[in-house]
Structure 1
Amino acid sequence: MDYVLRTNALCKKYKDFKVLNGLSMNVPKGAIYGFVGKNGAGKTTLIRLICGLQEPASGDYTLYGRKNTDKDITQSRRRMGAVVETPSIYLDMTAENNLKQQYRILGLPSFDGLTEILKLVGLDNTRKKKAKNFSLGMRQRLGIAIALVGNPDFLVLDEPANGLDPQGIIEIRELILKLNREQQITVLISSHILDELSKLATHYGFIDSGCLVKEMSAKELEAVCRKCVRMEVSDTRALARVLDGMKIDYTIITDQTADVYAKVNISHLTAALAKENCEVISMQERDESLESYYVSLIGGGKNA
Structure 2
Amino acid sequence: MDYVLRTNALTKHYKDFKALNGLTMNVPKGSIYGFVGRNGAGKTTLIRMVCGIQFPTDGSFELYGVKNSDPKISETRRRMGAVVETPSILPYLSARKNLEMQYDIMGMPDYNGIDELLDLVGLKNTGSKLSRDFSLGMRQRLGIAVALCGKPDFLVLDEPINGLDPQGIIEMRELILKLNRENNITILISSHILDELSKIATHYGFINGGQIVREMSAEELENECRKCVRVKVTDTAALARVLDGMDMEYKIIDDEQADIFASPNITKLAFSLWEEKCEILSVSEHDENLEGFFISLVGGGSNE
TM over 0.5: yes
Please give the alpha-carbon distance, in whole angstroms, between the structure 2 residues aligned to 1:214 and 1:9: 14
Matches within 5 A, 1:91-110: 91-110=91-110
Q: Could you say which residue in structure 1 is the equivalent of 2:36?
A: 36
Cα deviation code 1:213-233 (max 9, x no counterpart)? 221111121111111111356
Query: Does the Cα contact within 8 Å between 1:3 and 1:64 map onto a contact in 2?
Result: yes
Q: Compared with structure 1, are the counterparts of its residues 256 and 164 closer, same or farther at alpha carbon in structure 2 (3 Å cutoff)?
A: closer
Q: Deviations over 1:190-231 (max 9, x none)?
A: 122211111111111111221222211111211111111113
Q: Which residue of 2 aligns with 1:21?
A: 21
SS for the counterpart of 1:33 is: strand
* Pair 1:238 & 2:250 matched: no
Q: 1:105 to 1:214 in 2, by over 3 A?
A: same
Q: Residues 219 and 24 (structure 1 numbering): CA distance in 2 closer, same or farther, change over 3 Å?
A: same
CA, structure 1 residues 233+85, in 2 after alignment: closer, same or farther (shift >3 Å)? closer
**How far off is 1:261 after superposition?**
2.0
Structural mapping, 1:194-273, within 5 Å: 194-232=194-232, 236=239, 237-242=241-246, 244=247, 248-253=248-253, 257-262=257-262, 264=263, 269-270=265-266, 272-273=268-269
Cα separation, partners in 2 of 1:188 and 1:126, compared to 1, 3 Å: same
What corresponds to 2:76 in structure 1?
76
Distance 2:92 2:302 in 1: 44
Q: For 1:79-228, what aligned pairs fall within 5 Å after superposition?
A: 79-228=79-228
Unaligned stretches of 5+ in structure 1?
none
**What is the distance in 2 between the residues matched to 1:231 and 1:90?**
57
Q: Specify the SS of the correspondent of 2:52.
A: coil
Residue 41 of structure 2 aligns to a residue whose secondary structure is coil
3-state DSSP of counterpart to 2:150: coil
After TM superposition, give the deviation of residue 254 of structure 1 in Å. 6.5
Distance (whole Å) between structure 1 residues aligned to residue 243 and residue 256 of structure 2: 9
Distance 2:156 2:134 in 1: 22
Write out per-residue CA displacement over residues 30-88 of structure 1, whole angstroms, 9 at most, x where no aligned residue. 01111111111111111111111121111111101111111111221000000011001
Residue 250 of structure 1: how far off its partner (Å)? 3.0
- For 2:297 and 2:266, locate their aligned partners in 1 and report how far apart those are by CA, in whole Å: 34
Q: RMSD between aligned alpha carbons?
A: 2.2
Size of the aligned set, in residue pairs, is: 296
Alpha-carbon contact 2:209-2:303 (below 8 Å) kept: no
Contact 1:270/1:280 (<8 A) preserved: no
Whole-angstrom CA distance in 1 between matches of 2:266 and 2:296: 31
Contact persistence 2:33–2:189 (CA under 8 A): yes
Mind listing any 5+ residue stretches in structure 2 that lack a counterpart?
A: none
Distance 2:50 2:258 in 1: 44
* Structure 2 residue matching 1:108: 3-state secondary structure: coil
Q: Structure 2: how far apart are the matches of 1:85 and 1:17? A: 21
Deviation at 1:252, TM superposition (A): 4.7
Deviations 1:152-204 (A, max 9, x none): 00000011011111111111111101100111100001122211111111111
Once the two structures are TM-superposed, the CA of residue 14 in structure 1 deviates from its matched residue by 2.1
Q: Percent identity?
A: 65
- Between the aligned partners of 2:73 and 2:230, the Cα distance in structure 1 is 51
Using the alignment, how far apart are the partners of 1:253 and 1:2 within structure 2? 33
Distance (whole Å) between structure 1 residues aligned to residue 16 and residue 115 of structure 2: 48
Q: Shift in Å at residue 281 of structure 1?
A: 5.7
Q: What TM-score do you get using the length of structure 1 for normalisation?
A: 0.90
Secondary structure in 1 matching 2:49: helix
Amino acid at match of 1:193: I
Partners of 2:204 and 2:216 within 8 A in 1: yes
> What residue is the counterpart of 2:45 in the other structure?
45
Shift of 1:94: 0.9
Return the letter of the residue paired with 1:200: I
The aligned counterpart of 1:5 is 5
Residue 290 of structure 2: aligned partner: 290
What CA distance in whole angstroms lies between the structure 1 residues aligned with 2:22 and 2:257? 37
